[in-house]
């Protein structure tokens, strides 16, 4: 029976630690043959640079064959249902289909229609499990454990699939999470919240800034992103000399989410996240597609 990754909750804590053990070994980025003879299909119904490239590089580094489906030219553009597309792809014998879609729940539904593994590369404002895992891995590299650590997530949390995955993983591994943003960006939650970025900096051992998901807003929430940045942009001046890490899942809106000066600061882990993303996705593919 194929294993799927549609939600961070699909993995036990023990499985996550095993994936991280693989990922640590994969950071040398050497070519391997763990997935020699395996076929991975990437089907992205939303634009993506980092995630799609990261999955493709990860699969090829493990020796797999990769097919990137051009959605604009696929039969879905001719009226074929998503489920028929998945069933037809599955009939070609892939070992995994990596899917990103603008509707929440699509990867989970597709997993019921196929024999191969389904990996969620982001579904609507619901989940982005591989991003959550690479964020957790990045922090565990720095701290070894999240137990008792304080993490502030800043920005458009209501519309962020990354935030949902991060929150589930960070709290499961013992961190305290604070949600930060203007009222219209905060979800209904049992977690503590604040509208003050200064308060968040005083609280946190790490900050995770999020891109404002303007494409998911039914109505304008700010007169401009610059207005948002006045209160929620992370800058070197704001952090001072505090021992704190700064992260962002990308793409970064420079001088909106993060100031230029923080992007070059040694406390900024954005490029480490990208590097770790390849290793973690290699590890996820190995975990799902090979027998231990």
Q: Which phi and psi angles does 23 have, rounded to 5°?
A: -60, -40
pLDDT band at 120 (very low <50, low <70, confident <90, very high): very high
Tell me which residue of 1, 8, 10 sits closest to 117, measured CA to CA.
1
Is the pLDDT at 43 greater than 60? The verdict is yes
Judged by average pLDDT, the poorest of 24-33, 100-109, 220-229 is 220-229
Mean pLDDT over 208-213 rounds to 86
Is the pLDDT at 63 greater than 70? The verdict is yes
Report helix angle 50-61 to 129-143, nearest 10: 70
Average pLDDT, the chain: 92
pLDDT attached to residue 217? 47
List pLDDT tens digits, range 232-252: 999 999 999 999 999 999 999
Tell me which residue of 135, 267, 158 sits closest to 214, measured CA to CA.
158
Q: Is 3 helix (H, G, I), strand (E, B) or coil?
A: coil
Percent with pLDDT over 70 in the chain? 93
pLDDT band at 223 (very low <50, low <70, confident <90, very high): low
Bridge partner residues of 69 (DSSP)? 43
175 near 149, Cβ under 8 Å?
Answer: yes
Q: How far apart are CA 287 and CA 58, in angstroms?
A: 13
pLDDT attached to residue 87? 87
List pLDDT tens digits, range 154-199: 999 999 999 999 999 999 999 999 999 999 999 999 999 999 999 9
Following CA atoms 173, 178, 182, 185 in sequence, which dihedral angle do they give, to the nearest 10 degrees?
Answer: 20
Q: Is 6 helix (H, G, I), strand (E, B) or coil?
A: coil
Tokens 């070059």 -> residue: 264
Give the pTM: 0.94
Q: How far apart are CA 209 and CA 252, in angstroms?
A: 9
Q: Is 155 helix (H, G, I), strand (E, B) or coil?
A: coil
Burial of 203 (0-12, 13-18, 19+ CB in 10 A): middle
Q: Is the dihedral of CA 122, 127, 129, 134 positive or negative?
A: positive
Q: Rounded to 5, what percent of the chain is helix, strand, coil?
A: 45, 15, 40
| Distance from chain centroid for Cα 57 | 16
């Amino acid at each position: 029976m194929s294993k799927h990754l549609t939600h961070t909750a699909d993995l036990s804590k023990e499985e996550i630690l095993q994936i991280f053990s693989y990922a640590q070994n994969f950071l040398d980025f050497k070519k391997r043959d763990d997935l020699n003879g395996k076929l991975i299909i990437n089907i992205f119904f939303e634009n993506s640079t980092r995630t799609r490239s990261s999955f493709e590089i990860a699969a090829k580094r493990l020796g797999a064959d990769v097919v990137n489906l051009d959605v604009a030219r696929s039969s879905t553009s001719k009226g074929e249902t998503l489920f028929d597309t998945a069933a037809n792809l599955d009939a070609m014998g892939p070992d995994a289909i990596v899917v990103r879609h603008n509707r929440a729940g699509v990867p989970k539904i597709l997993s019921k229609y196929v024999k191969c593994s389904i990996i969620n590369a982001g579904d609507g404002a619901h989940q982005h499990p591989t991003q959550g895992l690479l964020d957790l891995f990045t922090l565990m590299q720095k701290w070894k454990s999240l137990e008792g650590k304080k993490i502030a997530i800043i920005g458009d949390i209501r519309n962020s699939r990354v935030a949902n995955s991060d929150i589930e993983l960070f709290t499961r591994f013992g961190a305290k999470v604070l949600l930060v943003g203007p009222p219209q960006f905060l979800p209904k939650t049992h977690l503590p919240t604040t509208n003050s970025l200064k308060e968040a900096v005083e609280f946190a051992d790490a900050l995770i800034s999020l891109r404002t998901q303007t494409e998911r807003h039914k109505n304008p929430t700010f007169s401009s992103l610059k207005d948002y940045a006045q209160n929620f942009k992370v800058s070197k001046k704001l952090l001072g000399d505090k021992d704190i890490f700064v992260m962002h899942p990308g793409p970064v809106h420079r001088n909106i989410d993060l100031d230029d000066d923080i992007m070059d600061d040694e406390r900024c882990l954005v490029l480490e996240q990208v590097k770790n993303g390849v290793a973690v996705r290699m590890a996820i593919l190995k975990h799902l597609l090979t027998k231990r």
